[in-house]
A and B are shown apart, each in its own frame.
Chain A
Amino acid sequence: MPRSDPHLPGQLSVGHQRLVVVLAVLAVAAAAIVLPGPGDDARGQAFSSAYQPFACDQPGSSDPQQRRQEIQLDNGAGDFNAAGRMHPCLAGVRWHLQSGNVATSSTTPAIGQIRTAYGRKFPDTVFYAAAGSRTDLYQLAFSGLQFCTGDTTPIGACAPAGTTDIQLYADSTDAPGPKSAANYRLTIDPDQAITIGGSGVWTEVLATANSSFTVPVAELPTATHLACALVGGTARGGFLGIGGTCELSASDFAGDLAQWLGGGENYTLLGVNLDLYYLVTHRQNPSDPYTQIPVDGSGNPLNSIQLPNTTISVS
């Protein structure tokens, strides 16, 4: 056997080389296959130790799930009175979802489409897993959020395929302590359009008041800037109060007058800028979201989040 291979310059004895190879093989084998040794009914209206087994607790409290957050879901009509509730133990890390430009005054290009949306000021204090809480979050419920996958899909005003930039990341920097000792950013970077929710799936978020999205004024009920302004939105562009765009923040949208996006129509999205602390996808008006998963007509779980050609990275 040749001993002069440039990859094995000979600083190690043959015995050491053998040992290195054997140890390396064992290391990768062990790393690949480490075999370690080692929670009734969900009823989504109340906490269940079967479905929420982790003790999201606060020492001194008699409730072992003191810090678990109850979130009553929308009924599909904007009343937020579905029987179904979620019970997450929240990380307190802000997720950011952005696409397009919410401050645009142009009605093209679109970045996606939304069908039916409701909002409300979240009525309860939102608690994080260990410490901290806030009372200023809003709950948005929408169905059929689709980003553009081509210049005519899902709507004719879409940007050409591959040009819709979508940013989705979680950043621990401004999370309240205690939190990870080192800050991180978890980035989900799709090359092309993603689907969150999609047809037949409802998506709800707990978002900050200034989270917003922008739609064409022409798609509002009276198609006027006044309609936009009445709910606190910001109208841009157009002519003589007609046309242009309307940016609606979560706080604007939670007003009663904003319920007109709940009419079952499709609305063109020109920009989305959401800062959210929780997101859940579910079927319409669920009574037990922990067991009633969104399904298609054949009973298959729907693809509620689809990320084609996506890189997920931690930095």
Chain B
Amino acid sequence: MGTGPAGDATRHGTRWGPMAGALVTSLGTLAALASLTWTHAFGLDSTIIIQDGNATFSSSQITADDAAFGMAPVRLGDGTWKNVLRAGFATATLNGLCISKTETVAGLVKYTIKLTAGDGTAALESRANNAALDVTSLRGAGINLQGSTQIGQASTDLTTAPGAAPYLANPFAVPQTWDGGFYGPGSTGPNAYSATGNGGHTNGQGYTGIDATRGTLNAAYGHLWQAQVSGDITLPNLTIKVLPFTDSIGFNANGTQNTTPDGIDDRSCWTEARQGTYPK
């Protein structure tokens, strides 16, 4: 557990008083959990949490068994659907992990919450089972897919969990039927599919993917919409920081650094990775 959360937030103007104890306690609980193996610690169901797209992530290396990448629709809070690329791994080992998210309150106050984990070495020290990342952009200095790789399957047909046959069907949970829209079967509202057909069995048509035996991503970062781990996760030295939003570092479209604000926090995982700094 780092000293960042209370320290940074306090330093920049929030008086904590009695709340500080509660916050430190909650963060302390998170850190304590992080130092152990997280096994359904929160008891949450597989509820999809959709963010507004301003979360970023980075890692020095992600090595995954039974990796797959597939297009998937996710429901936004307003009931519409957004297409994202879902990266799923039966087992992922990581050298460092950084996840940051900027929150805007009342359209004025912006904070960036930053989570980092890693042992500071080149070792693959973090581990997650049945992990999935929903991204709209992903950059890797090296993306290697090993073994037999397929491209063009429906995302429903990708196999990752549990990492060996017999595999689970549709581990990415891509809608496989015409369900009548956002409000459920028989209702109206936005649907993940453009039309129905095949007796309502849409089967993931139109959502394409890549299925690999093993995948390695070196120096990876990107824009994250959601992260899920349905199995165990171990995150050594988890640190959570609350940072006031700062944006003096931007990037041109070609990736060249400049001083034009780009709406992404200077200390976000994305900006730091663009500058060559990755969590280890």
Contact = CB atoms under 8 A, between A and B. Distances in A.
A46 interface: no
Contact of B14 (A4, A8, A131, A304): A8
Main secondary structure, interface of A, reads: loop
Which of B5, B139, B209: most chain A CB closer than 10 A?
Answer: B139
B157 A181 contact: no
Interface string A154-168: 000000000000000
A175 interface: yes
A181 B192 contact: yes
A40 B113 contact: no
A95 B143 contact: no
B58 to A, nearest CB: 13
Nearest to B72: A180
B109 A7 contact: yes
Interface in A1-57: 1-5, 7-9, 11-12, 14-18, 20-22, 24-40, 42, 48-57
Interface string B34-58: 0000101111111101010001000
Interface string B91-115: 0000000011101011011110111
Interface residues of B, number: 117
A11 B152 contact: no
A313 B136 contact: yes
Given A22-B23, A24-B242, A307-B142, A88 B157 contact: yes
A3 B13 contact: yes
A86 B246 CA distance: 51
A60 B199 contact: yes
Contact of B242 (A21, A40, A67, A182): A21
B155 interface: yes
A166 to B, nearest CB: 14
Interface string B185-200: 0000011111111111
Contacts of A14: 14-15, 17
A170 B203 contact: no
A180 B194 contact: yes
A312 B85 contact: yes
Contact of A53 (B13, B159, B192): B159
B204 interface: yes
A129 interface: yes
B230 A35 contact: yes
Contact of A24 (B16, B103, B151, B199): B103
Contacts of B15: 1, 3, 14
Interface stretch (A213-221, A229-237, A259-267, A273-281): A273-281
A218 to B, nearest CB: 32
Contacts of A282: 148
> For the side of the interface on A, what is the size category?
35 or more
A89 B148 CA distance: 16
A280 B150 contact: yes
Contacts, number: 379
B229 A33 contact: yes
B51 A31 contact: yes
Contacts of A242: none
A311 interface: yes
Contacts of B113: 24-25, 27-28
Interface string A293-304: 110000011111
B14 A58 contact: no
B90 interface: no
Contacts of B5: 25
Contact of B159 (A51, A180, A280): A51
Which of A93, A130, A186, A303: most chain B CB closer than 10 A?
Answer: A130
Contacts of B208: 91, 93, 95, 170, 172, 186
B214 A33 contact: no
B257 interface: no
Nearest to B137: A313
B137 A311 contact: yes
A251 B198 CA distance: 31
B85 A280 contact: no
Interface string A65-96: 00100000000000000000010111111010
A129 B178 CA distance: 13
B170 interface: yes
A78 B201 CA distance: 37
9 contacts: A7-B245, A20-B109, A21-B23, A27-B113, A35-B43, A36-B230, A179-B205, A309-B141, A312-B135
Given A54-B204, A129-B204, A308-B142, 12 more contacts: A8-B13, A12-B106, A22-B23, A29-B30, A33-B38, A40-B166, A67-B198, A129-B154, A130-B198, A181-B192, A304-B145, A310-B140
Interface of B: 5, 9-10, 12-17, 19, 22-23, 26-27, 30, 38, 40-47, 49, 51, 55, 69, 71, 73, 81-85, 99-101, 103, 105-106, 108-111, 113-115, 135-157, 159, 165-170, 176, 178, 190-209, 212-214, 222, 224, 226-230, 233, 235, 240, 242, 244-246
Interface of A: 1-5, 7-9, 11-12, 14-18, 20-22, 24-40, 42, 48-60, 67, 86, 88-93, 95, 128-132, 170, 172, 175-182, 184, 186, 206, 276-282, 289-290, 293-294, 300-314
Across chains A and B, which 3 residue pairs bring their CB atoms closest together, nearest first? A179-B206, A36-B46, A39-B166
